[in-house]
Amino acid sequence: MSEQAKIHDAILLVAGVGARLRPLTDTQPKCLIEINGVPLLIRLLRQLHEQGIQHVALATGYLEAKIRSCVAGHSNLPEVSFCPNPNYSETNNAASLLGALPAVAGRPFILCDGDILVRKSGWLKDLLADSRGNILAMISPEEMGAEEMKIELGEDDRVSALSKGLDPAKSAGESVGVQIISADFYDVLRERLEAMSEDERANSYYEDMFADIMGDAHPFYAHEIPVSSWTEIDTLEDLEVARQLYASWQDTPEDSTPTNN
């Protein structure tokens, strides 16, 4: 990757209510749920900072003051800006992403869902070094359910379809909610999100927009990561799986390194 194309910015989507994690999310956003004493958000911010990300825009909404307080109380973080979505309870992540886009001002960036636990291993570095343009990180699990955002691939690992409704038997894997967005795609992304916000798609997900426009002019490429290096936390059951997965990572010196408060 050329010097001009290096990625120094990120957008993290942390506006949601996290209703399926109640009662834990009655008093805190789900991005502040702790694994081994460290909030998910703080862990991800530090991991991004370690890989050269200098600025992170947080697309906030639910209990934003708690997120601001948490960020202010921790060190070893990149610069953080806050981009509140005042309509977070009535919209989905496409609206939150649109509100955060001005913070990255046409630069390439990494886009992450805020409810993920990521292993402190080399795949994030490899993803940021992928120079093919727009990238979707994916895993290839043995089984995929109805709720997974499934991916079909064409030649050269180009994403040909992206939808929860795809046939698992024909899908190469599932999206993990981590994407690289190229500078060339920024204006298209902004324009499409603005159009969605003005019609019946205002309550859509950003993945829906990606699925609509990926093609010859705006290709996305899949970047496969190890299944055991990532998990998403949507429910209390997911949280228990995440804690067990994190415990399994402590077998390696890199992952067992303490995280500073």
* pLDDT score of 185: 92
* pLDDT score of 91: 86
Structure tokens at 153: 């691939």
Secondary-structure percent of the chain, ordered helix, strand, coil, rounded to 5: 40, 25, 40
- Find out whether the peptide bond into 108 is cis, omega within 30 degrees of 0: no
**Burial bucket for residue 230 (CB in 10 Å: 0-12, 13-18, 19+):** buried
* pLDDT score of 2: 39
CA–CA separation, 88 and 13 (whole Å): 11
Neighbours of 132 (CB within 10 A): 16
* pLDDT score of 171: 94
Whole-Å CA distances, 169 to 138, 140, 228 = 16, 12, 21
| Local structure of 34: helix, strand or coil | strand
Structure tokens at 230: 């990532």
Structure tokens at 6: 């290096």
The superfamily (CATH) of domain 3-251 is Spore Coat Polysaccharide Biosynthesis Protein SpsA; Chain A (3.90.550.10)
Residue closest to 56 by CA, chosen among 40, 70, 69, 42: 42
Structure tokens at 227: 């299944």
Strand partners for 11: 57, 111
Where do the structural domains in the chain lie, given as residue ranges?
3-251
* pLDDT score of 203: 72
Q: Which residues, given as ranges, of the chain have pLDDT below 70? A: 1-5, 121, 200-202, 251-261
Residue closest to 259 by CA, chosen among 121, 119, 76, 79: 76
* pLDDT score of 202: 63
Neighbours of 218 (CB within 10 A): 17
What rounded mean pLDDT belongs to the chain? 89
pTM (whole model) above 0.95: no
Q: Which residues contact 28 (CB under 8 A, 6 or more apart)?
A: 63, 66
